[in-house]
Amino acid sequence: MATLVTGGTGFVGSNIVKVLAQQGHDVVSVDIAPPDEMVRRYISDVADSISWVQGDILNGQTLAEAASGRVIDKIVHAAVYTGTRADVEIDDSHRIVDINTRGTLNLLDLARQLAVKRFVYVSSGGVYAGKRPANEPLREDMALFPINLYDITKYACEMLTERYGNLHDFETASVRLSAPYGPMERVTGHRAVMSQVYEWTGKAMRGEPIDFSRDTPDRDFTYVVDTASAIAAVLDAPDLKHQVYNIARGRRVPMGEMIDAMERVYPSVTFTGDRAAAEQAPQPKFGRGPMDVSRLSDLGIVAEHDIETGLRKYMAWRKEFGFTN
C-alpha cells in the first residue's frame, strides 16, 4: 500500500512526506516542481521510501502516472497556490481559483477511482478570517466568512471534500493549519508570502537588525514538524469523530515572548525599535485568535515544540543547510 501526497516538494508538503516515510509509509509525491537538491537532502534518511512524480495536478495524465502500478489507499492533498496578498489576487485570480479548486476536484476524483481508505485535505486557518474578537478561540464548528480568494477556495474545498467522500463512500477529513514555520520554508512559484518567523530568522542569520512593531500580529505559531506529525496522525487514526481538525499549538505567541526566545536561541540577534512602547500599545480589538485544539487532543496529539524549542531546531537546520534567505 502507498500514500499519495501532493505538493511534496513544498514547505509543508516536504515535511509531510518526510514524517510519513519515517512512520513507515511508502510515499508517492506529486508536485509541479521536481525535488531539488535541498529537498533530496532534507529527506535523505528516508529516500528509499519516497517516489517522485513531477506534474501538474490539473493534468489527468500526471495523476494517472502517479497511480500507475501502485496500490494507493490514502491521499494527503497539500498542493496549493498560496496567493494571499492582494496584488497576487489581482494579478492571478484565475490561477488561484483554478489550482486550488479544480486541482482538488481532480484529486477527489482520483480517490474515487482508486477507492482509497482516507483522503485528507490540507486547509488553512485563513478560513477563520473576518471581524472576530482578537482573543476568541477559533473552533472548527464556527460559522465562516472567508474574505480573500485563497481563503475562499480553502473553505470551498473543505466542503467539496466532505461531499465527495459522502457521495463516493470514502473517508475524508480536512485539517486547518495555523502559522507553520520551520525547515523548508522558501519562496517558490506557488508560495510568495513568507512567515514572520522566516523573516526574523533569516535576518538573524544574515546579521541584519529586526525591526519589530505592533503591525506584526501575535500568531499561533506551530513548528512545521509538529504540523506534519499531526496530519499523519489524522491520516492514520483508527477512527475520526469529526470532519475538520485544527492543527496548531493552541496559543498565540506574544511579540515579547518571540523576542526573548530569539535572543536566547541566537544571542547575536539585534532588534530595533522601542520595545516598551510597542508592548504597551493597546492590542487590536479584532484579529485572529488562537486555534482551539480540543479535537486534536482527543486523538492524543499534542504539539511537542514551544516557540523556543522550535526556533532552536529551525536555526540549527538553517545553519546545517547554509540557508540564509
pLDDT at position 79, please? Answer: 95
| DSSP H or E stretch at residue 31 | strand 27-31
Within 8 A by CB and 6+ apart from 316, the residues are none
pLDDT averaged over consecutive 10-residue blocks of the chain (325 residues)?
Answer: 96 97 98 96 98 95 91 97 82 91 97 97 94 89 93 97 97 96 85 83 95 73 98 97 97 90 96 82 78 96 96 98 95
Query: 182-228 pLDDT, tens per residue?
Result: 999 998 765 657 889 999 999 999 999 998 775 566 789 999 999 99
pLDDT at position 319, please? Answer: 97
Question: What 3-state DSSP class applies to 238?
Answer: coil
Amino acid (1-letter code) at residue 10 = G
pLDDT at position 192, please? Answer: 59
Distance CA 320, CA 325 (A): 14
Considering the entire predicted model, what is its pTM? 0.95
Cα–Cα–Cα angle for 260, 182, 287, rounded to 5 degrees: 65
Closest to 12 (Cα-Cα) out of 219, 244, 185: 185
Alpha helices in the chain, H assignment, sequence order: 11-22, 37-42, 60-67, 86-97, 103-114, 149-168, 196-206, 224-236, 255-265, 275-280, 294-298, 307-321
Query: 134-185 pLDDT, tens per residue?
Result: 788 999 999 999 989 999 999 999 999 999 999 999 999 999 999 999 999 9
Query: Which string of DSSP letters, residue by residue, matches 127-159?
Result: GG-SS-BTT--B-TTS-----SHHHHHHHHHHH
Domains recognised in the chain with CATH numbers: 2-179+222-247 (3.40.50.720), 181-220+251-291+300-321 (3.90.25)
Within 8 A by CB and 6+ apart from 320, the residues are none
As a dihedral over the C-alpha atoms of residue 145, residue 251, residue 202, residue 311, rounded to 10 degrees, the angle is -150
Distance CA 303, CA 224 (A): 10
